[in-house]
Amino acid sequence: MPNHTNPTLALALGLDGGPMREQLGKVAKDCIELDIKQQIGTALTPGFWNGVGQEVEEAVVKGLDDIPISKILVEAWLSAMQFRSYADPEIHPPGEPSVATLAKHSVKSPHKVSVDLLVAGHTAKSLVLDLVVLLDLDGVHLRILDGRIRAISLGATKVSASLKLAGKEVKRFPLREFRYDGELELHPPMPIMLPDRYPPAVALPEEARVPTPLAPPSSG
């Protein structure tokens, strides 16, 4: 089930049970039928390939449900190095909260989903699916404190994607609007720059940093 506390790609793309197993089964058959026939010495029935399609479909949905939208966005933003000033304690002193607003922009995010199939006791050729997701964003707000992105408010977001297997498009996810009215909190917060230039949030007394050795027992 989708994680609604931090929306995932499965939720954003609207994977609500609409089947794509028939297309996946057909493309999987084109990719691995010869290998399997050589391994087990016989052709396989259409029902088998339907089962393969269902297995691959479940793996795709699970893979997308493990990818939070926030992770995709933060990694893209940090790679663009556009928030470096927020990681400078001379510009934004420790304890000073900031909100960064992003104008209209797009984020392209490629992913691979690998599926290993076991057929009649034999490991068939692995299937590797390529998914390219395009996120169109406008009016995104980032809450930043001490050089770390703490939370994201998405604003207007549209998402589309293309899923391919062996270079053949299995499914195209048409452009759709995705709304998430809550704030996406990052746990843990994501550092904008490494190494971290901010002091620890809680300064420990010197004697608390190194364990104090026990005194030896007194004699006599």
Q: Where are the domains of the chain?
A: 9-194
Over residues 13-57, the pLDDT tens digits come to 887 555 677 777 777 777 776 666 666 555 567 777 777 788 888
| Phi, psi of 149, rounded to the nearest 5 degrees | -75, 120
Name the pLDDT band for 184 (thresholds 50, 70, 90): very high
Torsion of CA 29, 34, 35, 39, to 10 degrees: 120
**How many other CB atoms are found less than 10 A from the CB of residue 162?**
14
Omega of the bond prior to 7 within 30 degrees of 0, cis?
Answer: no
Residue 213 in this model has a pLDDT that exceeds 60: no
Q: What b/e sequence results for 130-139 when a residue is b if at least 16 CB atoms lie within 10 Å of its CB, and e otherwise?
A: bbebebbbee
What token pair was written down for 155? 């604003």
**Distance, CA of 206 to CA of 65 (rounded, Å):** 45
Question: Do 151 and 143 touch, CB atoms closer than 8 A?
Answer: yes
Among 6, 24, 21, CA closest to 151: 6
Distances (CA, A) of 112 to 59, 64, 148, 159: 11, 10, 28, 18
Residue 81 in this model has a pLDDT that exceeds 70: yes
Question: Do 124 and 160 touch, CB atoms closer than 8 A?
Answer: no
Q: Mutual orientation of helices 46-65 and 21-40 as an angle, nearest 10°?
A: 120
Name the pLDDT band for 202 (thresholds 50, 70, 90): very low
Over residues 157-172, the pLDDT tens digits come to 999 999 998 788 888 8
Report pLDDT for 40.
59
DSSP secondary structure letters along 56-91: HHHHHHHHHHTSBHHHHHHHHHHHTTTTGGGG-TTT
Question: Do 59 and 10 touch, CB atoms closer than 8 A?
Answer: no
Report pLDDT for 138.
92
Which tops the pLDDT comparison, 196 or 217? 196
What token pair was written down for 99? 């909100």
